[in-house]
Amino acid sequence: MVKAAELEKFEKEFIDRKPNRCSKCKGRLKYLGGGYYQCFDCENTEIDDFGRIKDYIDENGPKPAIVIAENTGVPIDIVNGMLREGRLEIPEGSKVYIQCLSCGCSIRYGRYCPDCIRNKTNNLKGIYFNPEVGEKPKAAPKQDGKMHFLDFDN
Ligand SMILES: [Zn+2]
Ligand SMILES: [Zn+2]
């Protein structure tokens, strides 16, 4: 399946912003996981947008995308891109979800709901190997006055 321009743009932006050299000695970096990198030469650690968001949520709990963007300095486009890519997901019970780009139903992450992917591919296997497929919330959104949260799928 051809990737949508929106996702390509997100990936390019994310990669452009990712640290690729040590900020202290310009040495090469190895990936430690969780958005952290370490310099081979001086052992200085660097962090990418994924790590910034993860640390923020670990410290402050899940927050709306715009609050995460404001507090981490990560552009809102990147936060939204992570949702569409499934690196971030909105937890069950949230009041607001993102929408399937085809039918508009609520999904917690991804681009399309499982039903639309099933209709598109006509093949059950396609659902499990398609990175664009999202997951519908199990219950109807609760009207409890809570703001919508992001959670982390790590
Ligand atoms: Zn270094
Ligand atoms: Zn759909």
CA of 61 to the centre of ligand 2 (A): 29
pLDDT of residue 37 exceeding 90, the answer is: yes
The string of pLDDT tens digits covering residues 68-110 is: 899 999 998 898 888 888 888 777 777 678 889 999 999 988 9
| pLDDT at residue 148, as a whole number | 45
Distance from the CA of 37 to the center of ligand 1, in angstroms? 11
pLDDT given for residue 119 in this prediction? 82
By the CB criterion, residues less than 5 angstroms from ion ligand 2 are 100, 102-103, 113, 116
Confidence band of 113 (pLDDT split at 50, 70, 90): very high
Three-state helix/strand/coil letters over the chain: CCCCHHHHHHHHHHHHHCCCECCCCCCEEEEEECCEEEECCCCCEEECHHHHHHHHHHHHCCCCHHHHHHHHCCCHHHHHHHHHHCCEECCCCCCCCEECCCCCCEECCCCECHHHHHHHHCCHHHHHCCCCECCCCCCCCCCCCCCCCCEECC
Q: Which has the minimum average pLDDT: 4-13, 20-29, 54-63, 143-152?
A: 143-152
- The pTM assigned to this predicted structure is 0.65
